[in-house]
Amino acid sequence: MNFSEVFKQSNQLCKVSPDGKYLATCVQYRLVVRDINSLQIVHLYTCLDQVMHMEWSSDSLFILCAMYKRGLVQVWSLEQPDWHCKIDEGSIGLVSSRWSPDGRHILNTTEFNLRVTVWSLCTKAVSYIKYPKACQKGVDFSADGRYMALAERRECKDYISVFVCDDWHLLRHFESETQDLAGLEWSPNSCVLAVWDSCLEYKILLYSLDGRLLSLYSAYEWSLGIKSVAWSPSSQFLAVGSYDEKVRILNHITWKKITEFEHPATIINTKAVVFKEVEKRPVVGSEDLSIHQLTVDNSLFSTQSKYEITQLPAQVPVIKPDPDRANPKIGISTLAFSADNRFLATKNDNMPQSLWVWDMQRLSLLAVLEQTAPVRCFVWDPRRPRLALCTGNTKVYLWSPAGCVSVNVPVEGSFQVQSLFWHCSGSSLVLLSKEHVCLCYVDAEEEK
Amino acid sequence: MGDWWTPAMMPDPSLDNKELSSISGISMSPSRQNSHHSLHSTMVLPKTSYSVISAFCTEENISQCIAYINQEVCSLGLTGVSLESESGGLSAVLVLNLLYEVLQLQRRAQRALHELETQQLKNSSDLEHLQHSNCRLKDQLEHTRRENSGLHEGERQLQLKIKTLQNCLKSEKEEVQKLQSIISSRATQYNHDSKRKERECTKLKERLNQLLMDKRDKKLSIEMSNYVGRSDGKRGLWKTSKMEARHEGEMYRALLSDYETRQRSLVLENSELKKVLQHMKKDMIAILSPKNVCVQPEPADDSLEQAVSEGEEEAGDRSRESLEQSCEQAREQLTNSIRLQWRKLKSHMERLDSQVSLEREGDEVMSRKEHEDEMQRMRLELQQCKEFIHMQQQLLQQQLSSPCDEETAALLNDCYTLEEKERLKEEWRLFSEQKRNFERERKNFTEAAIRLGHERKAFEEDRAVWLKTQFLNMTPFVDRKRPALSEPHGALAVSTEPEAKLQSTPPLVTKSQSYSVFSTPKAAPVKMPSTADLYRTLHLIPESRLIFQLP
């Protein structure tokens, strides 16, 4: 594994273009575009204020930079560097900004979620969508980019509007049977829309593209409900993670639960492998403590770690959440399917240092990774069944069915990996620390 | 008292019953009143019973009587009456005294008897009383015992009830606690949400205030250098109802295609599962077929026949089933027949098991012996293998550790190098052979290429001739004799067209490529064109395609 040099970034704004050729980073009010292979600066743009959100258009030709404080959005073109575009929302303010799937419209959500303004770069036309709902995930575009689902709230009732992204024609507008809609997500085949309620009620609704209610699933009443939802890439499964520390898998034919994955504090399943991260401090002899060594050899102060396989039954460290706080840190907060649909990675909030990997073919637990610090971020390789995770220290961890490995980021000074994501080809990882970004080139072969 | 000296005479039958009963009544009457009567009766007695006593003493036996009476009196302890007086007769004084004493005795006895009788009466009455009270107490005891057991039973049931109620209470308490925790978590969530909404509301109010006070209203606007073309390059369209209909159509089409793919995959899965079931059924029938079942005793015959008949039936069914794949009945038939076969297989297995257990008792010695032999043999083999492995390990260890003396090391190294040399020689030989083959082939290629060049030239000439004739034929001179097209003996024995001229441009490489298709067999049919060339000639693949595209 090779590591590139370190570049500055601010606000964790660092994105790879959808075609995989460029890397864009924001440093305060500047937008830096680099070539992904050579990491040379290709373009440099200056915005009017500190950039809060940056996004590539789907055809990798434009980048939008949103500055929420000033209510401005600036769009830059890669083909014509001197082309400029500035969208000013006026006194109404700006809360979020995103591209439409065709890369020619920008959707701005104004402050207080008063409305969504759709700006067209082709015609300078403006459209408004009223009463958008301010919730966890109120807008979702279908995978093929044809439809957009928007959650609305009028007169204390939830509605869902389906728009055709071509011309923003309102295709369907129907009332949702939720009490307080928390989020919606299209299935990867764009035919089913999953809509779930807030955590006060466990309810997940499945609507067909034309607005018919296909099914309603509710596992239990009264206790806190759904925390996270994920579709499998083939649209076969819908994984629902809830506050009762379980993940329930629904199947796409009957929309009924086929299994539930529990996250017990004691693992007794004999087929699962428990990897425990063990830190080993290097022994420093007195003659090594020369100034030269200290400055150059970073590994002196960073600890090496490796994974050990723990014997079953194994205990998973549990942190009891504060019962008096809202949104308690308990339950399945993150779910991610691997790209080949075979694995599911979950994180239970009251076991923050552990990551659970489930085999979807056998519908059973495959591995548990126990880290020394709470897991901050984990992402699947978009091509292979390989999982990368970070815990906020200087290491990057990789898991694959062959085993797992922990790699120290060999950067001068310490590079605390706060988040990471894969390049779309699966050949490199982009690691983000608080102020810096670094690329990690991963080989395609299996690791152990 | 002495016995009654019963004289020879019997009591007078003239005595009436009353007197007899009164005589006998003395010893039996319990009450005092009776005793008086009896006394009276006894006093009366002498008069009436005089006849009895007179029988005792007569003039003849006076002295005997006197002696007897003396005896009796002596035995009674009274002063003996010597009734012998001077006169030889009885002294009336003595007799009277005696009589008086006897009367006294009698009175005393009577009194004692009276007392005893009263005592007896008292005792009997007491006894009766006690018996009654005993009965009563027994009854009472029984009654209280029963009451007690009833109370115990009641108490036990109440205890049970208490336990169940306590359990209920515990579970209810737990549920209450759980509900309370749920309520509290929901309450915190609601509070949190309402606080958030309130904060948002205040922000809104502030903003509204600010906007109302702030006169400069920044309008929303967009500034762009120039319009950007659409991503798909097409022009924008007006929003019409036709567009809307088109969108609806597209949406339904997308849904339909999704349903169709899903249905297709389900049908595929279904057919595969059906196939698996069919195979299973066939296997099961095969297992239960006659040659396997002949070991079975009598009771299996009926199942055997059934199995055979089932098999025949199934053969007919199978053909039917293949026709009505999706039919409900066929599916049910299949599942039912599978179930039937499975049940038969199970019963067969059970019978086999029982048979084995029976047989084992019969041929116990035999099979065990065989078993033992087998085990022994296997153990021996295992031992041998272990020893072999051990030996190998030892040798390996010896090999790995440095050899003790240089000679053997050198020898070993020599051996290794020799081996390597042999191997290398072999490989060299192969290599040289391959090289020779390659040379030969290359020679062939070049020859063929030269030949092809010649043929090409010839072909070109032919083509030119043909074109000429063609051109000439285009003139109205129809009956002009067409010169026979000489068969192009080039590699390209296909119809040519004017544009075929371009084919000459691909360089020599093509030819070698086309020949490389046939490189492996030595007798390469050189005349046959490669498919790529054929296609190219027929314009099935465009000219600009890579030359190296092999079919």
Residues B114-149: pLDDT tens digits? 999 999 999 999 999 999 999 999 999 999 999 999
- pLDDT tens digit sequence for B322-335: 555 556 777 788 88
Residues of A in contact with B262 (CB under 8 A): 252-253
Local confidence band at B211 (pLDDT 50, 70, 90 cut-offs): confident
The proportion of chain A whose per-residue pLDDT surpasses 90, expressed as a percent, equals 65
- pLDDT tens digit sequence for B73-129: 888 877 655 655 555 566 788 778 888 888 888 899 999 999 999 999 999 999 999
**Which of B181, B200, B228 is nearest residue A104 as measured by Cβ atoms?**
B228
- pLDDT tens digit sequence for A164-202: 998 888 999 999 999 999 999 999 999 999 999 999 999
Local confidence band at B529 (pLDDT 50, 70, 90 cut-offs): low
Residue A202 and residue B6: Cα distance in Å, rounded? 124
CA of B276 to nearest chain A CA: how many angstroms apart? 20
Of B271-275, B406-410, B487-491, the range with the highest mean pLDDT is: B271-275
Q: Burial code of B390-415, b = ≥16 C-beta within 10 A, e = fewer? A: eeeeeeeeeeeeeeeeeeeeeeeeee
Task: Tell me, letter by letter, the H, E, C secondary structure of A222-271.
Answer: CCCCEEEEEECCCCCEEEEEECCCEEEEEECCCCCEEEEEECCCEECCCC
Nearest CA in chain A to B265: A253
Tell me how far CA of residue A217 lies from CA of A140, A249, A346, in angstroms: 21, 11, 21
- Which of B192, B212, B231 to mutate: most A Cβ within 10 Å? B231
Residue B376 and residue B272: Cα distance in Å, rounded? 47
- Between vectors from CA B308 to CA B306 and to CA B314, what angle results, nearest 5°? 95
Contact in structure between B236 and A122 (CB atoms under 8 Å) = yes
CA of B177 to nearest chain A CA: how many angstroms apart? 13
The single residue listed with the structure tokens 């010169």 is: B483
pLDDT of amino acid A397: 93
pLDDT of amino acid B472: 87
Neighbours of A88 (CB within 10 A): 17
pLDDT of amino acid B24: 45
Nearest CA in chain A to B257: A191
Q: Is the pLDDT of residue A88 over 80?
A: yes
Tell me how far CA of residue A382 lies from CA of A1, A300, A340, A388, A425, in angstroms: 18, 35, 9, 11, 7
**Which of A111, A210, A324 is nearest residue B251 as measured by Cβ atoms?**
A210
Nearest CA in chain A to B222: A87
Local confidence band at B38 (pLDDT 50, 70, 90 cut-offs): very low
Q: Contact B225/A91, CB-based, under 8 Å?
A: no
Q: Contact A327/B211, CB-based, under 8 Å?
A: no
pLDDT of amino acid A74: 94
A292 or B252, greater pLDDT: B252
Of A68-72, A99-103, B139-143, the range with the highest mean pLDDT is: B139-143
Q: Which two tokens stand for residue B168?
A: 């209920």
pLDDT of amino acid B511: 45
Contact in structure between A102 and B232 (CB atoms under 8 Å) = yes
Residue B259 and residue B269: Cα distance in Å, rounded? 15
Residue B534 and residue B215: Cα distance in Å, rounded? 81
> Among A118, A67, A64, A55, which Cα is nearest to A93's?
A67
B523 or B422, greater pLDDT: B422
Query: Chain A contact for B100, CB < 8 A?
Result: no
Q: Which amino acid appears at position B254 of this protein?
A: A
pLDDT of amino acid B75: 85
- Which of A124, A221, A234 to mutate: most B Cβ within 10 Å? A124
Of A281-295, B467-481, B533-547, the range with the highest mean pLDDT is: B467-481
Local confidence band at B403 (pLDDT 50, 70, 90 cut-offs): low
Q: Contact B182/A222, CB-based, under 8 Å?
A: yes
- For residue A413, with 0-12 CB atoms within 10 Å meaning exposed, 13-18 middle and 19 or more buried, which class applies? exposed
> Among A156, A205, A203, A155, which Cα is nearest to A176's?
A205
Local confidence band at A380 (pLDDT 50, 70, 90 cut-offs): very high
pLDDT of amino acid B90: 64
Of A114-128, A284-298, B47-61, the range with the highest mean pLDDT is: A114-128
**Which of A77, A199, A208 is nearest residue B255 as measured by Cβ atoms?**
A208
Contacts with B58 (C-beta within 8 Å, 6 or more apart), sequence order: none
Query: Chain A contact for B234, CB < 8 A?
Result: no
Nearest CA in chain A to B240: A169
Q: Which amino acid appears at position A228 of this protein?
A: S
- CA dihedral over B348, B354, B356, B359, signed as positive or negative: negative
What order of strands is seen across the sheet that includes strand A343-348?
A: A304-310, A273-280, A364-370, A354-359, A343-348, A332-337
The DSSP output letter for A158 is: E
A423 or B366, greater pLDDT: A423
Q: Contact A167/B188, CB-based, under 8 Å?
A: no
Neighbours of A72 (CB within 10 A): 19
Angle between helices B17-28 and B32-56 (to 10 degrees): 120
- For residue A417, with 0-12 CB atoms within 10 Å meaning exposed, 13-18 middle and 19 or more buried, which class applies? buried
Q: Contact B227/A121, CB-based, under 8 Å?
A: yes
Local confidence band at B54 (pLDDT 50, 70, 90 cut-offs): low
pLDDT of amino acid B536: 58
Q: Is the pLDDT of residue A62 over 80?
A: yes
User: Once rounded to an integer, what is the mean pLDDT over residues B49-59?
Assistant: 65
pLDDT of amino acid B42: 46
Contact in structure between B551 and B541 (CB atoms under 8 Å) = no
Of B147-161, B474-488, B515-529, the range with the highest mean pLDDT is: B147-161
- pLDDT tens digit sequence for B304-357: 444 444 544 554 455 555 555 556 777 788 888 888 888 888 888 898 899 888
Angle between helices B241-287 and B328-362 (to 10 degrees): 30
> Among A87, A86, A200, which Cα is nearest to A135's?
A200
Instruction: Give Cα A76 distance to the centre of its chain.
Output: 25
Residue A216 and residue A246: Cα distance in Å, rounded? 18
Phi, psi at residue A274, to the nearest 5°? -105, 115
Residue B223 bridge partners (DSSP)? A86
Nearest CA in chain A to B216: A91
Helix, strand and coil percent figures for chain A, each rounded to 5? 5, 50, 45
A282 or B228, greater pLDDT: B228
Checking DSSP bridges between strand A364-370 and strand A273-280, what pairing results, if any? parallel
B401 or B189, greater pLDDT: B189
SS3 state of residue B86: coil
**Which of A88, A122, A208 is nearest residue B221 as measured by Cβ atoms?**
A88
Q: Is the pLDDT of residue B380 over 70?
A: yes
pLDDT of amino acid B387: 93
Q: How many CB pairs under 8 A join A and B?
A: 124
- Mean model confidence pLDDT for chain B: 75
- Between vectors from CA B203 to CA B202 and to CA B206, what angle results, nearest 5°? 85
- Mean model confidence pLDDT for chain A: 89
pTM of the shown model: 0.62
B502 or B70, greater pLDDT: B70
Q: Which amino acid appears at position A356 of this protein?
A: W
> Among A180, A217, A111, A219, which Cα is nearest to B190's?
A180
Q: Is the pLDDT of residue B371 over 90?
A: no
- pLDDT tens digit sequence for A305-353: 888 888 888 888 899 888 788 888 999 999 999 999 999 999 999 999 9
B314 or B197, greater pLDDT: B197
Query: Chain A contact for B187, CB < 8 A?
Result: no
Q: Contact A191/B255, CB-based, under 8 Å?
A: yes
- pLDDT tens digit sequence for B485-496: 444 444 443 444
Residues of B in contact with A224 (CB under 8 A): 185-186, 189
Q: Is the pLDDT of residue B16 over 50?
A: no
User: Once rounded to an integer, what is the mean pLDDT over residues B393-411?
Assistant: 77
What is the biggest distance separating any 2 CA atoms in chain A, rounded to whole angstroms? 75
Contact in structure between B303 and B347 (CB atoms under 8 Å) = yes
Contact in structure between A98 and A75 (CB atoms under 8 Å) = no
- CA dihedral over B279, B283, B285, B291, signed as positive or negative: positive
Nearest CA in chain B to A59: B231
Local confidence band at B510 (pLDDT 50, 70, 90 cut-offs): very low
> Among A229, A166, A227, which Cα is nearest to A193's?
A229
